Amino acid sequence: MSTQSTAGIDETGTTDHPSRSDGFVRGASELIGGPLGDHAVALDRPAGRESRFWTASRIVLALVCLTLALHWVQKSPCQDGAWQNNVQYTRMCYTDVLALYYAEGLNEGKVPYADHPVEYPVVTGYFMGALGLPVHALGVDNPGINQGRWFYNLNALVLSALAVATVAVILNLRRRRPWDAALFALAPALLLTATVNWDLLAVGLAAFGLFAWARRRPALAGVLLGLAGAAKMWPLFLLGPILVLGLRAGRIRAALTAVGTAVVAVVAVNLPVAIPYVDNWRRFFDLNTERPIDWGTLWYIGRYLDGKISPSAPGDLGPFEWLNAHIGALNWVSYLLFGLACLGVAALGLFAPRRPRLAQLAFLVVAAFLIFSKVWSQQFVLWLLPLAVLARPRWGAFLAWQVAEVCYFTAFYGELLGSVTSRPVFPEGVFVLAASLRLITVAVLCGFVIRDILRPERDAVRATYADDPDGGVLDGADDAPWLPRRRPTASAPEPVTA
């Protein structure tokens, strides 16, 4: 059993430098003189020693603040709420946060769920009301102010704070790899989608939950993941990997504690709404059940291909068009594929040569959900960002995925503008190509993570840490007696360029 700190985070040893350990960064560094030298002044020194103010952690925190400031500038053309001449599409600055302030009746002082059905889970609804109702009250007392602008900027401030907190969590989980957090801080997808919706609320809560698990506080981790799952459903999927790895490591009590407290948290925040306002509360579930194939998904790409293949007889529907016409069947096929993917991830977690790290399985589960879901909104990329950083902190494949996300973001707004003006912005098929590239790059990232699991000597994190710095009670644990195997001895990783 490896020796780790009681918090589950190894804080000893030397700091990783990407220009030495990451093949992509090492190659790029040749443009500015090559990798960091042996006698260079390190930005991060061991705890307790005098260091410069601009440590790696502080630089990364400054970078994420810069990214969020640029995001605010990018969204500024839409902040007045006028949105004339399709400015929300031509400037690519649309945000649900501003649009739903009016659509959900917050500008009229309506209380979410009590006075108006809300299309999001309850913690997001609470969040909308907690910020929106005071803005409405301010507008009543000051009729001249732009309530929509105030609401958006207040949300942008809080959501940005959650993004900074997420980076701080990554930095704490990776104290010997602080530059990993720069992947999140500098992600183009963060710059473009940070406040398109309230997804950073769930991202921040889920990050705190993972940190609590790493600190060996499973009950608190469950509460935070439950609250995150009551904001957006996907954080609840992280409980599956915790259960699988807890079973493999013989730490099932801690895993069940996390799952149990998560269930309690979800029920506790839902009941005050679900009991008195059940019809308004069900709006989220009804919408997700009734929605047809949405833009940019695997199913959308399939519908496009259906349209390019001549039917065998007039009136015949291709398989994807048929599913879109039969939403119930589409739902079950999507659930089935996601369920099969989860079974595959569980088998990988139980029978891989060495127990996978928690972040690796978490990334695979959430990525599988997006790949097979009938809805894949532009801001859902935020769900994967911190998990991708923790699961596989390699710059090459990560940047390729981010380029694909930027291409999709641009093509998406071109498609929106073309649909409202009836004048195509891009040639036919460009949007489907962009959606395909996004799907392919996420699938490729999944392939790399699976390869790292099957060949742990290639795992960048285990090249720095003895086991799993995010694992909490799993960190350094041997396999349970019912699953006898000798864990392979860690070896130096092979060079990886992707």
What DSSP string runs through 208-237?
Answer: HHHHHHHTT-HHHHHHHHHHHHTTSSGGGG
Give pLDDT, residue 38.
55
Give burial (CB, 10 Å; 0-12/13-18/19+) of 109: middle
As beta bridge partners, residue 112 has 116
Q: Is residue 448 part of a domain?
A: yes
Q: Is the pLDDT of residue 496 over 50?
A: no
Answer whether residue 385 shows pLDDT above 70.
Answer: yes
The tally of domains found in the chain comes to 1
- Which token pair is 293? 């194939």
pTM of the model: 0.90
User: Crossing angle of helices 358-372/430-454, nearest 10°?
Assistant: 150
Alpha carbons 398 and 423: distance in angstroms, whole number = 34
258 class by beta-carbon count within 10 Å (0-12 exposed, 13-18 middle, 19+ buried): buried
Could you tell me if residue 319 is inside a domain?
A: no
Task: Write the pLDDT tens digit of every residue in 123-146.
Answer: 999 999 999 999 999 999 999 999
- The predicted-structure confidence for 274-292, as pLDDT tens digits, reads as follows 999 999 999 999 999 999 9
Give CA separation, 498 vs 394, 402, 462, in Å: 7, 13, 17
The CA R_g of the chain, rounded to the nearest whole Å, is: 23
Please state, for a pLDDT cut of 90, what percent of the chain lies above it: 83
Q: Which two tokens stand for residue 132?
A: 């929106």
Q: Which residue has the higher pLDDT, 483 or 107?
A: 107
3-state secondary structure at position 380: helix
Domain-embedded: residue 495: no
Q: Is residue 484 part of a domain?
A: no
For the segment 170-226, what is each residue's pLDDT rounded down to a tens digit?
A: 999 999 999 999 999 999 999 999 999 999 999 999 999 999 999 999 999 999 999
What is the rounded end-to-end Cα distance, in angstroms, of the chain?
A: 31
Residue 164 within a domain: yes
Q: How far is CA 267 from CA 120, 264, 272, 276, in A?
A: 16, 5, 9, 14
Query: What is the per-residue DSSP string for 108-150?
Result: GTPPBTTTB--SS-HHHHHHHHHHHHHHHHHHHH-TTS-HHHH
**Per-residue confidence at 5, pLDDT binned at 50, 70, 90?**
very low
Q: CA-CA distance, 492 to 420, in Å (whole number)?
A: 55
Whether 19 is covered by a domain: the verdict is: no
In a domain, 238, yes or no: yes
CA pair distance 403, 386, nearest whole angstrom: 17
Its domain, for residue 342, covers 53-291+326-474
Are residues 387 and 368 in contact, defined by beta-carbon separation less than 8 angstroms? Answer: no
Q: Is residue 147 part of a domain?
A: yes
pLDDT digits (tens, 9 = 90+) for 216-274: 999 999 999 999 999 999 999 999 999 999 999 999 999 999 999 999 999 999 999 99
Average pLDDT over every residue of 3-30: 51
